């Protein structure tokens, strides 16, 4: 369960830094993407496949913001997925030490 909490922090860090809709930059509250982050964490917890996570990130933001507001492509979400999975793997390995 500790890994799940750490994964929530990892996903939040990467999504908030990315700020795909620009809401945080405009002064929105720190929890602005928490619903999307919770959905992304569910998939990130059970997969290490970048393409699977990337597709889920893309679909999650389209679901909540629509394709007119969320202007990124599936290919562009791949870098975010790579960063999340890379950090997840490093964290998982350090937890085993």
* Alpha-carbon gap, residue 66 to 83, rounded angstroms: 24
Q: Residues 6 or more apart from 65 whose CB is under 8 A from it?
A: 21
**Percent share of the chain, pLDDT over 70:** 94
pLDDT in tens, 71-91: 999 999 999 999 999 999 998
CA distances from 3 to 26, 90, 96 (A): 32, 12, 11
Out of 3.40.50.1000, 3.40.50.150, 1.10.340.20, 3.40.50.300, the CATH code matching 2-96 is 1.10.340.20
Per-residue tokens: 78: 């791949």
- pLDDT for res 97: 45
Query: Can you tell me the distance from the alpha carbon of 10 to that of 84, in angstroms, rounded to the nearest whole number?
Result: 7
Q: What is the pTM of this model?
A: 0.92
For residue 42, the tally of other CB atoms under 10 A from its CB is 15
Distance CA 70, CA 61 (A): 6
Could you report the per-residue pLDDT of 27-50, keeping only the tens digit for each? 999 999 999 999 999 999 999 999
């Amino acid at each position: 369960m500790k890994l799940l909490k750490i994964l929530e922090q990892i996903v939040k860090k990467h999504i908030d830094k990315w700020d795909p809709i620009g809401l945080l930059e405009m002064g929105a509250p720190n929890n602005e993407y928490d619903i999307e982050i919770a959905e992304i964490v569910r998939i990130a917890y059970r997969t290490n496949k970048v393409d699977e996570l990337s597709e889920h990130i893309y679909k999650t933001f389209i679901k909540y913001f629509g394709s007119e507001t969320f202007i990124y492509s599936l290919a562009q979400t791949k870098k975010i997925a790579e960063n999340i999975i890379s950090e997840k793997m490093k964290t998982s390995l350090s937890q085993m030490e």
